[in-house]
Amino acid sequence: MIIRKTIQCALVLETVKKLMCHPTADEVYNEIAKENPNISRTTVYRNLQRLCESGEIQKIEVPDAADRFDHTQSKHYHAKCLKCGKVSDVDMDYIPNVNEKIKNANGFKITGYEMIFKGVCPECQNTQPAK
């Protein structure tokens, strides 16, 4: 049983790496289900969660959209395409301890933050010329 879990977990990790571009949980599941129709959605979701907790992948919380998963372990920023919803990495120095720069949190106990840039990806710029 432990072995089976490990195999499923490895499969999920491998698939996140293979899909590269920040897949959603559904995209990971659909990819795995192509070759492993017996695996359940719940199993995939649970393993994604486990991999996030162990730090092997990162969860990116995208406003107004499904969470995405990133096989890159280092902290970095993302940009979301407003047309197709694709999430890509942006190359920018990571700002450590942004939380500590808050001068007045109005009583909030800050537990984290998400910073996502938005714009139009290269593919969408080509299909629909910018105004």
Point out which residues bind Zn ion (CB under 5 A): 70, 72, 81, 83-84, 86, 89, 121, 124
Complex with Zn ion: residue 52 or 124, whichever CB lies closer: 124
The two structure tokens encoding residue 17: 């790496």
The two structure tokens encoding residue 84: 């197709």
Kindly give, in sequence order, each residue whose CB lies less than 8 Å from that of residue 72, ignoring residues fewer than 6 positions away.
58, 89
**Smallest gap, in angstroms, from Cβ of residue 82 to Zn ion?**
8
Q: How far apart are CA 7 and CA 44, in angstroms?
A: 12
Complex with Zn ion: residue 33 or 120, whichever CB lies closer: 120
Q: How far apart are CA 67 and CA 70, in angstroms?
A: 10
Element (H, E) at 60: strand 58-60
Complex with Zn ion: residue 30 or 88, whichever CB lies closer: 88
Complex with Zn ion: residue 37 or 122, whichever CB lies closer: 122
**Smallest gap, in angstroms, from Cβ of residue 34 to Zn ion?**
24
